[in-house]
Chains A and B, each alone.
Chain A
Amino acid sequence: MENGIPDSQNPKPKPRPIVRIGIFIISHNLFFSVICCIGGILALFLLPLMAKNTYISENALMPGSANPMFSRYDTMEANKLVKDIMSMSLKPEETGIEIARLLAQRMEESGVEVYHHKFHEKISQFRPLHFFSDTTYTGLLLQNTSAIHGINTVGIIRAPRGDGKEAIVFVTPYNSTKIELSEALSIGLAYSVFSLLGRVTWLSKDIVWLAADSRYGEYTSVSAWLRDYHTPVFNGPESKENPTTGAGNTDFFRRAGTMAAALVIKVVEKHGETEKDTLSIYAEASNGQMPNLDLINTVHYLAVHTQGLRVKVEKVYTLLNLAWLQVMGQILESVSKVAKSLNSQWKFGMPAAEYVDGTATLASSLYYQALGVPTGSHGAFRDYQVDAVTLEISPRSFLNNEGRRTEFLLRGGRLMESVVRSVNNLLEKFHQSFFLYLMTSPSKFVSVGVYMIAFLLLLVPLPIAAAALYSGANNLGSNLTKDNQVPAFASTAKPGVQKSWRWLHAAKVVFIIHLWATIVSLLPSLINHIPEMTPTNNMFIWASSSIFILLILYSMLGSPYSHPTTSGCQNSEWATLKSVMIAVASIGLGLMSIINYATAQIGAIILVPMCLLVHPLKLTGRSGNSKAFLLVACNLVVAVIGFPPAGLAVIKGWSEGFGAVNVGDFWIWAESLWAWNSATYLYVVLIHFPCWVLCMNILLHPC
């Protein structure tokens, strides 16, 4: 367009409206960016208001339509088993095997198929090439730790008239080396429900009970069992006769069809403030995957409406006392009151306390999804597309209280039985309700359609800013070239070519940095092999080798500041670089939002301001007014927070006090992320970190 004939008599043809809107937006990019960013953050805070009440979408579930059959007789059985286990745990020697044997014997007595599943501790290894694929473990793993193993006890009820194509799984984790009363209670509860289900006539799906030996952690045992269930290894060493139990065929792995749903049952002694027994639901699996909302709804409905339990989901408790959040809640409440007085049909308001509560729950929901680490052993099921939740039941009184215990077991047993009955009614697998949602309270959720608004509002300024910067840099460049070269009367074609290819240099810089980030992301797998290292040392090695590689790359491929063009172009140089960086960042964020929305959302809150604000310090320093000073200050703050280790240190310092901050923390955090195959690690190292480095480049740009 700039090349158009500069004839004022002949007006340019008007561009199409859509182009005109585009030009308009780009020319006012600052205004739009600010509006969109503020709008995005505001929309995030408005999410609790936009949450909908949950409802049961799948009609076949019919929760609570049948009366539970779980009776006091069953609680007596549970109590008996609890006593047996606890008396056994008094004898310290080899309780691990004892409990497994006792459970197998009890299950066999109730005419159920039983087997023991032996597994080994999983060695956490960073395998960068198998990031999303589930690691198929080979014989190598079995050989090196063959001496010690955990023993899961698994019982299967075959549905009398079912066809055995589907199964419902319960899991009760217990620590076989040191069992506690609460774990014994959860086993007792599951056993009593299981033996009841062995007698009922309405089963259409098989029931599997996995008493998971959690001596190596709950998740390890469950995931080992699931791996052997779904991807057994046939060419492993032949399993010998089981010495633990006398019976011959209890070592043979049995299966029960496709899993429809799984429930992890835990009893926890929490001395809460409430007068009711409490049920906490944990649902987040790896990479922010959630079970179908219908499963949570069913549990919630049955717990609240038939058993009278208080249902909780996790929340960030520190948020509850924040003054500004309270103020925001009150403002929203008053706004909604005014709106309601204007039109009584506008009902979007909620009390301030409820808003604060919802925000705290939403924050925890976002946080756990963003972290990408499952919140319990239910996460192992999601890797095999099985919907699973952890139900943590805590009684209002002490567990030692026998009289109360019966009441508590009765509630818990009836809840489990009704949930199983409800899921048993399902004809299809869970598909009817949402998979992408955030919880704002046990009975309220925000679906993907709503929460994407906040993210998109944050994301929209990036392409606009990139376009604006690019066109601005081009304008500036062409002006400069015009000024320089019109007197020299150079050919008009040459600067045009040069100008249109100018972004190539910037793209090369961005590419080098991203390539470097990829190498940096793979470094831990090498560092991991160095024996006997503390996290701090590892961190230092990681950092120093990264810097070293960066220097090598610069020397090989050229540093970002060594542009071959004339010095006149330097001014627009950083703008082109920034525009390419922003474009790449927006692509990265968009991709991440598909993999894990919550990570992208939290990442965007930091990344978008950082990318938009960044401005070379030299340039701002030249102007020297208060606006420039503010910009510099903002830049520096964002640059510090944007550096992932520094950001982590700030968060940790804020939550735990700055004394606890350590250099090795980031290493530990990163290690936990890759142990869980969390895509958050990829996001931080492959998208966020190179953007930060490029921002540093621009900040320190010598223009």
Chain B
Amino acid sequence: MTFLRSILFFILLIQLFFVKSNGIDEEFTEELLLKPLPDRKVLAHFHFDTKTPPTKTYGHHHRLFPKAIYQLVQKFRIREMELSFTQGRWNYERWGAFDSMSSSNAKPPGVELWAVFDVPPHQVDANWKNLTQTLSGLFCASINFLESSTAYSAPAWGFRTFSGKLRYGALPREAVCTENLTPWLKLLPCRDKAGLASILDRPSIYKGFYHSQRLRLLSNEFSLDASAEAPGIVLEQTLTVVLQPHSHDTRSIYSDGRLLHPSWSISSIFGRAVAGKCVLANLSTIYVELESGVVSALNNLNVDLETGGHGADDMGSEGSWSNPGFELSVKPERVIKEVNSSHGKSFSILYEYSVDKYGDNEPFDLGFIWKLPMAWSCLHSPFHASRFLMGSGNQRGSIAISLRSTGSSSEGFIGGGDFFGDVCKVRVDIFQVVPWYVKVYFHTLQVYVDGKPELLKDILEKMHVSPSEDKVSPGVMEMVLRFPCSVKSAAVVIDFDKGFLHIDEYPPDANQGFDIPSAVISFPDFEPRMHFLDENSSSKSPMLLKLQEKNPVISYTEVLLVPLATPDFSMPYNVITITCTVFALYFGSLLNALRRRVGEEERFFKSKAANQTRLLPRLLAKLRGKQQEPTQSTSSSSLGRKLTLKIVLVAGVAIGWHYYTDYQSS
């Protein structure tokens, strides 16, 4: 028995060894990219990547891969999923819109979730609903609000190219906080106890101008033709923050009056330095990226960016690395240069640092010191898109998406635009989900190009619309537009009516208005990617691979706030009161009319007139000025006078007494 058990154990060991030797094992990498931005801010992009081989070959037990995510994938048969929590807005004009960084990491405010399922079409909705509930529990967020069919949509082709099995939902109002970050960090093998995640100091990362925490899942567990390139499940966790470096000389002015960009270091922007790598990580790297704009600006100043330049770097890795433009406090291990850039002659440069050799005793604190005032602009997407509401009042309005050509794009079009005959056309995809209470009239769609209204059929290549259904589903609009390359500005306008909600359908704080989630505008003709020289081992780094991936340029528009007519929420009380009054009056008079017998009454009145004794009718009659019988009238008038006298007397006594007691007390 013991023998048998030991043999089994041995076989298991061999198995494990075999698997390991094959190189198919769970992998975890951690990377951080730091990038100075043109508007004196710093972008920090954390990229954590966890991979597991397919269950078929590897089994159900994992060393690194989070169990929660594995079970999620298994249970809901997810092929691809992306969940993002974002606070703040990505500034497409200043922080870039034409690189894979912004296309994949700039997300709309709040929560955005999309998922592709590997199930038959009729089960997709059920799986989505369960998934939202599970994620809601997992990330302490109200993702469960996406369960309702009014909150999510099934884009056909406008968002990504998955037919039928994709579901998309967004919650623009969701507030993002540490309680969402903590469960996200729990998915990392070292959590935030070691490695790059340890510098995620909550106050400093939430103080930034943009904060987007993203989780992306990719699995081919259930696909029949399992390709070797995407083994098993890949969990990609990224955190993108834009921070303002707080150095004491933020407002330092260079000799010629221009402002110097603030210098920063890891410890100054995060509040702590990197104390070594996560021991479970296969790769732990920090990159500093200088984007093409700043590189070309420095090149114009004849600064050598690839070698340390002016001799100050001879002290080896301990020493700093400087050139006339800026100084890096630590010498980079490698300089990766982009080649064959898609955008002109300029190229970006990455300085690579490995955290392997740093530890608690010697924390890694990279400093970046600017020496010259620099001014550069980031890469713009072909169009700058913005969306806004038109009109005022509680009845109707319009949604307008305005596209403004950025000046830099004229040469980009030649690379990216498609040619139809002789005419260069640029393709713009618009995907927009509108809640049902904003009743969009799709026939009112109008397109203006350079200030002139255009016929839809000239511009619109393809359109898919699923109109909203009251209280059931939102309206979805997917469009492919083709504009001439010479276009300066374009606008897409669509009218809507504001609907009325039932009183219990209003969310809390209904008077704030209702959100229309961001529209997604993509430019599929443009697929910017970085090319790095193949000779170095960049292929090992998932982040660099990601940067080299081909992705269309995507930008999200603003979230809109539609003020709807809200009832006075204290109104139910008033309504109840009024309704009751009306009912009382109605039933009262109805019963009165039913009960009354006219003949009886007449007889009654006749008998009453014979012996009139009541006081009130007589008084009324007197007031009305009708003459009664003289004897009765005199008696009644004397009676009335007596009564009045009595009342006056009593009132006088009461007032006097009151006055007296008041006088006494005061």
Q: Do A and B bind each other?
A: yes
A residues at B contact (CB < 8 Å): 10-11, 13-14, 20, 24, 27, 111, 134, 158, 160-166, 201, 230-232, 234-238, 248, 252, 254-255, 257-258, 341-344, 383-385, 427-429, 431
**Cα-based distance from A10 to B602 in the complex (angstroms):** 9
* B216 CB within 8 Å of chain A: no
- Complex interface: chain A residues within 8 A of B207 (CB): 201
- Complex interface: chain A residues within 8 A of B558 (CB): 164-165, 257
Q: How many residues of B contact A (CB 8 A)?
A: 60
Q: Is the CB of A13 within 8 A of B602?
A: yes
- Complex interface: chain B residues within 8 A of A342 (CB): 655, 658-659, 662
**Cα-based distance from A666 to B40 in the complex (angstroms):** 61
The closest CB in chain B to the CB of A60 belongs to: B509
Q: Is the CB of B393 within 8 A of A161?
A: no
The closest CB in chain A to the CB of B562 belongs to: A258
Chain B nearest CB from A614 CB (Å) reads 26
- Complex interface: chain A residues within 8 A of B511 (CB): 428-429, 431
* Closest 8 pairs (CB-CB, A-B): A428-B511, A165-B561, A234-B448, A163-B109, A384-B392, A428-B512, A431-B511, A160-B209
**Cα-based distance from A344 to B666 in the complex (angstroms):** 10
Can you list, as one digit per residue, whether each of B488-523 has a CB less than 8 Å from chain A (1) or not (0)?
A: 110101000000000000000111110100000000
* B624 CB within 8 Å of chain A: yes
Q: Is the CB of A163 within 8 A of B513?
A: no
Q: Is the CB of A163 within 8 A of B559?
A: yes
Out of B91, B173, B624, B662, which one reaches A27, CB within 8 Å? B624
Q: Is the CB of B453 within 8 A of A232?
A: no
- The winner among B88, B110, B655 for most chain A CB atoms within 10 A is B88
Q: Is the CB of B598 within 8 A of A13?
A: yes
Q: Is the CB of B450 within 8 A of A238?
A: yes
- Complex interface: chain A residues within 8 A of B452 (CB): 235
- Complex interface: chain B residues within 8 A of A428 (CB): 509-512
**Cα-based distance from A429 to B513 in the complex (angstroms):** 8
* 8 other A-B residue contacts (CB within 8 Å) besides A163-B88, A165-B561, A431-B511: A13-B601, A20-B620, A24-B620, A24-B624, A164-B89, A238-B489, A255-B386, A428-B510
Can you list 13 contacts pairing A with B, beta carbon distance less than 8 Å?
Answer: A11-B605, A11-B609, A24-B624, A162-B88, A164-B109, A164-B559, A248-B407, A252-B404, A257-B558, A342-B662, A427-B512, A428-B510, A431-B566
**Cα-based distance from A392 to B574 in the complex (angstroms):** 40
**Cα-based distance from A74 to B278 in the complex (angstroms):** 47
- Complex interface: chain A residues within 8 A of B493 (CB): 234
* B84 CB within 8 Å of chain A: no
Which chain B residues (564-597) contact chain A, with CB distance < 8 Å? Answer: 566
Which chain B residues (183-207) contact chain A, with CB distance < 8 Å? Answer: 206-207
* B400 CB within 8 Å of chain A: yes
Q: Is the CB of B662 within 8 A of A14?
A: no
* B87 CB within 8 Å of chain A: yes
- Complex interface: chain A residues within 8 A of B609 (CB): 11
Chain A nearest CB from B42 CB (Å) reads 14
Out of B87, B209, B390, which one reaches A231, CB within 8 Å? B390
Q: Is the CB of B89 within 8 A of A163?
A: yes
**Cα-based distance from A427 to B175 in the complex (angstroms):** 13
- Complex interface: chain B residues within 8 A of A14 (CB): 605
- Complex interface: chain A residues within 8 A of B448 (CB): 234-235
Out of A13, A158, A230, which one reaches B605, CB within 8 Å? A13
**Cα-based distance from A237 to B489 in the complex (angstroms):** 12
Chain A nearest CB from B570 CB (Å) reads 11
Chain A nearest CB from B249 CB (Å) reads 16
Q: Is the CB of A11 within 8 A of B606?
A: yes
**Cα-based distance from A254 to B93 in the complex (angstroms):** 12
Out of B40, B89, B560, B598, which one reaches A158, CB within 8 Å? B89
Chain A nearest CB from B16 CB (Å) reads 48
Out of A27, A161, A201, A383, which one reaches B87, CB within 8 Å? A161
Which chain B residues (243-283) contact chain A, with CB distance < 8 Å? Answer: none
- Complex interface: chain A residues within 8 A of B162 (CB): none
Chain B nearest CB from A47 CB (Å) reads 25
- Complex interface: chain A residues within 8 A of B658 (CB): 342-343
Q: Is the CB of B451 within 8 A of A236?
A: yes
Chain A nearest CB from B571 CB (Å) reads 13
Chain B nearest CB from A433 CB (Å) reads 12
Chain A nearest CB from B208 CB (Å) reads 8
- Complex interface: chain B residues within 8 A of A160 (CB): 88, 208-209
**Cα-based distance from A10 to B510 in the complex (angstroms):** 65
- Complex interface: chain B residues within 8 A of A235 (CB): 448, 451-453
* B64 CB within 8 Å of chain A: no
Out of A27, A165, A201, A237, which one reaches B560, CB within 8 Å? A165
Chain A nearest CB from B625 CB (Å) reads 8
The closest CB in chain B to the CB of A233 belongs to: B451
- The winner among A201, A230, A258, A427 for most chain B CB atoms within 10 A is A258
* B411 CB within 8 Å of chain A: no
- Complex interface: chain B residues within 8 A of A385 (CB): 392-393, 563
- The winner among A14, A201, A236, A343 for most chain B CB atoms within 10 A is A14
* B172 CB within 8 Å of chain A: yes
Instruction: Answer whether A161 and B624 are a contact pair too, CB < 8 Å, given A230-B391, A235-B452, A385-B392.
Output: no
**Cα-based distance from A431 to B211 in the complex (angstroms):** 32
- Complex interface: chain A residues within 8 A of B208 (CB): 160-161
**Cα-based distance from A13 to B559 in the complex (angstroms):** 71
Q: Is the CB of B602 within 8 A of A165?
A: no
Instruction: Answer whether A158 and B91 are a contact pair too, CB < 8 Å, given A11-B606, A234-B493.
Output: yes
Chain A nearest CB from B594 CB (Å) reads 15
The closest CB in chain A to the CB of B89 belongs to: A164
The closest CB in chain A to the CB of B560 belongs to: A165
* B388 CB within 8 Å of chain A: yes
- Complex interface: chain B residues within 8 A of A257 (CB): 558, 560-561
Chain B nearest CB from A288 CB (Å) reads 18
**Cα-based distance from A166 to B561 in the complex (angstroms):** 8
Q: Is the CB of B392 within 8 A of A255?
A: no
**Cα-based distance from A3 to B449 in the complex (angstroms):** 77
